[in-house]
Amino acid sequence: MTVTLADAHDAALYARARHEAVPTGALFTAPQRPAPITPEQRRLNFEALGQAISSPHQAAPAEPNPTKIRALTIQPPWSDLIALTDEEIAKRIENRVWSTGWRGTLLIHGGQTIDKQALALPAVRDALPDDYQPVQGHVVAVADLAGVHADDGACTRWSEHGCFHWKLAHVQPLAEPVHATGSQRLWKPSRTLLDDITAANPHLTARLEAAESR
């Protein structure tokens, strides 16, 4: 696959739009103005354009086994704070710099990267057990994304200023966390992952089946 300079610039803009780190490296540090194309390159471009126009449109292949449930990858210890059952200290707000109109059943996935600075916060240390071990690369809980609102002050002890506050409800931890590869933003868990979750956590079977049938 050939990556063009335009692709590099688009990737950087796309990253900024998603509030993510702008890609770095040789590919993304190319000169801002691409070199003029040669007459031969121009001819090949016109031929490729003609073929694209004359070819029948092909729809994108349907996603195999689509799911209605979504998942969100969160750095430990924040993911583990959501999985706590004590409502007095559990984290029921997820802070994001972006919003979403999606609502429904949400898998809480602990990412591979640990927020080490968070581990030094008194509120985090007080909420977690003394023998706390971060759960990395696993789904740790099931929740409902009940709402999203802009920063309206400290709506909970876990809310951050300048972020959208995602309200989590009906949080159920997994008795047996299930390994999964996370992704950015909201992502769709596979049927296989859902089957693995219910096999290891039968108490969640009815809930996940109901969420898929809606």
Quick check: helix, strand or coil at residue 159? coil
Output 118-127 pairs: Cβ under 8 A, ≥24 positions apart.
118/75, 118/77, 118/78, 119/77, 123/157, 123/158, 124/77, 124/81, 126/89, 127/81, 127/84, 127/89, 127/90, 127/91
Distance CA 61, CA 56 (A): 15
Q: Which two tokens stand for residue 94?
A: 């997820």
Residue type, 10: D
pTM of the model: 0.70
CA 177 to chain centre: 18
Ordered by where they begin, the domains of the chain are: 1-31 (no CATH), 70-213 (2.30.130.30)
Among residues 146, 198, 143, 191, the alpha carbon closest in space to that of 176 is found at: 198
Distance CA 114, CA 111 (A): 7
In 3D, which of 199, 146, 144 has the Cα closest to residue 174? Answer: 199
Give the separation between CA 5 and CA 98, rounded to whole angstroms: 28
- Which value, to the nearest 10 degrees, does the dihedral of the CA atoms of residues 172, 178, 179, 181 take? -40
CA-based Rg of the chain, rounded to a whole angstrom?
22
Mark the ranges of the chain whose per-residue pLDDT is less than 50: 1-9, 11-32, 57, 59-62
For the stretch 34-71, pLDDT in tens is: 556 676 766 676 666 566 555 554 544 445 566 899 99
The stretches of 76-136 forming alpha helices (DSSP H) are 78-82, 116-119, 122-127
